[in-house]
Amino acid sequence: MRIHVQNLSDDPGFAITPAQWAAAAARTPDVSAGHVLSFGETAEEFRASIQQAEVLVAQTGAVRRLFPAEAPRLRLIYCTAAGLDSLAPFDWLPPNAQLLNNRGAHGAKAGEYGIMALLMLATGMPEFATAQRAGRWAPRPGFVLAGRHVAVVGLGTLGSAVAAQAARFGMRVTGVRTRSEPHPACAQVVTLDALDTVLPDTDFLVLALPLTAATQGMLDRRRIALLPQGAGVVNIGRGALLDQDALCDALETGHMSGAVLDVFVPEPVPPGHRLWATPNLVMTPHVSADDPNTYVPLSLDIFFQNLRAFRDGAALPNRFDTARGY
């Protein structure tokens, strides 16, 4: 097949190099041989290849910028990201092309970020960081994670990895997702419509959902008030899952003891934004799930798994459902 790889010139840390491609191809020789391959970084290079390409492998930002485009032969678009909400609405998708994400590539790093965030909340790091900014020595007792209750909302790659780490530390884990099917790391799983019943008993709430019409703003002011005094929140999904102003209010009043957020509205968070000065809030710049040492290799392994399924006429494991939004 004709496969075009399109990188994004302004995000070189996650670009797919020919050497990484060759290494991944060597790991999956049955499906990686015999293709016509092109690499591009500029819009001109994209236009030169996309007319003939049957498969596009691309950084998501490149897809956002370069489509709509005339790509009559395109059958597969593989984006090296899991959340593709930035590509919605999906009316730009060529009629015969299926969209794939790299769901599965983020687990190890996201699990480590998640347990780091929970340990930080249990230790009181958000308060200590706020005190440090003020040059103030202000001890307060922390606690170990064992026996504490964490609710993980969303049990995809990210949420599952966080739930598994939390269980390993002896936490009681409640999973919250669209279906109530059991999950190996969770003591119980409830559906999203039962979230209100879980919140009052939650020490820590972890948001690990994709952003869709159904999930936007789900942690709103009313639900934040349902959390017990002193609860902590972690968001590794998308910024718009929660009401940022309501969260900042809850941190300022002390209703919430701390938050560790990796995702925001907007990104980058502009200078002077209220978030920067909110007490007991730890912010990271959308890095929770990405380890560049493993990200592209894992993404390419997932791509070749899907290419094999496509060749064999099987269901594509990473097909992105544009109606559902994940």
Work out how close the CB of 186 gets to a copy of itself at its nearest, in angstroms, rounded to a whole number.
21
- Is 138 a binding residue for a copy of itself by CB under 8 A? The answer is yes
Q: Between the CA of residue 260 and those of 68, 105, 263, 290, what are the distances in Å?
A: 37, 22, 9, 17
Say how far apart CA 70 and CA 74 lie, in whole Å. Answer: 9
How far is it, in rounded angstroms, from Cα 96 to Cα 100? 13
Q: What gap in Å lies between CA 3 and CA 307, rounded to an integer?
A: 11
The letter for the amino acid at 187 is: A
Residue 188 binds to a copy of itself (criterion: CB under 8 A):
no
User: Using the rule CB under 8 A, which residue among 37, 187, 226, 283 binds a copy of itself?
Assistant: 283
Told to check if 256 binds a copy of itself by CB under 8 A, we report: no
Least distance in angstroms from the C-beta of 263 to a copy of itself: 12
Burial tier of 106 (Cβ tally within 10 Å: 0-12, 13-18, 19+): buried
Choose, by CB under 8 A, the member of 115, 171, 233, 251 that binds a copy of itself: 115
CA 8 to chain centre: 19
Site size for a copy of itself (CB under 8 A): 51
The answer to whether 86 contacts a copy of itself (rule: CB under 8 A) is: no
Type of residue numbered 64: R
Does residue number 123 form part of the binding site for a copy of itself (CB under 8 A)?
yes
Q: Could you say whether residue 290 binds a copy of itself (CB under 8 A)?
A: yes
Tell the smallest beta-carbon distance from residue 48 to a copy of itself (Å): 30
Concerning whether 4 is annotated as a catalytic residue, the answer is no
* Structure token digits, residue 229: 């005094």
Which of the following is catalytic: 73, 286, 308, 319?
286
Residue 152 β-bridge partners:
175, 206
Does residue 168 carry a catalytic annotation?
no
What minimum distance in Å lies between the beta carbon of 298 and a copy of itself?
Answer: 11
**Does 271 contact a copy of itself by CB under 8 A?**
yes
Q: Toward a copy of itself, which CB reaches closer, 122 or 150?
A: 122
**Considering the rule CB under 8 A, would residue 17 count as an interface residue with a copy of itself?**
no
Q: Which is nearer to a copy of itself, 50 or 263 (CB)?
A: 263
**Displacement of CA 229 from its chain's centroid (Å):** 28
* Residue 204 engages a copy of itself in binding (rule: CB under 8 A): no
167 forms part of the interface with a copy of itself (CB under 8 A): no
Contact partners, residue 75, CB within 8 Å, separation at least 6: 54, 55, 96, 97, 98, 310
The DSSP output letter for 59 is: -
CB of 50 to a copy of itself, least distance (A): 29
Q: For residue 267, indicate whether it is catalytic.
A: yes
- Under the binding rule (CB under 8 A), the answer on residue 131 touching a copy of itself is yes
Q: Count CA atoms within 13 Å of residue 142 on its CB side.
A: 18
Q: Does 122 bind a copy of itself (CB under 8 A)?
A: yes
Kindly list the strands in the beta sheet with 172-177, ordered across the sheet, starting from the edge strand earlier in the chain.
Answer: 188-191, 172-177, 149-153, 204-207, 231-235, 256-261, 281-283
Q: Report the catalytic residues.
A: 238, 267, 286
Residues that bind a copy of itself (CB under 8 A): 13, 108-109, 112-113, 115-116, 119-120, 122-125, 128-129, 131-133, 135-146, 168-169, 267-269, 271-273, 276-277, 282-287, 290-294
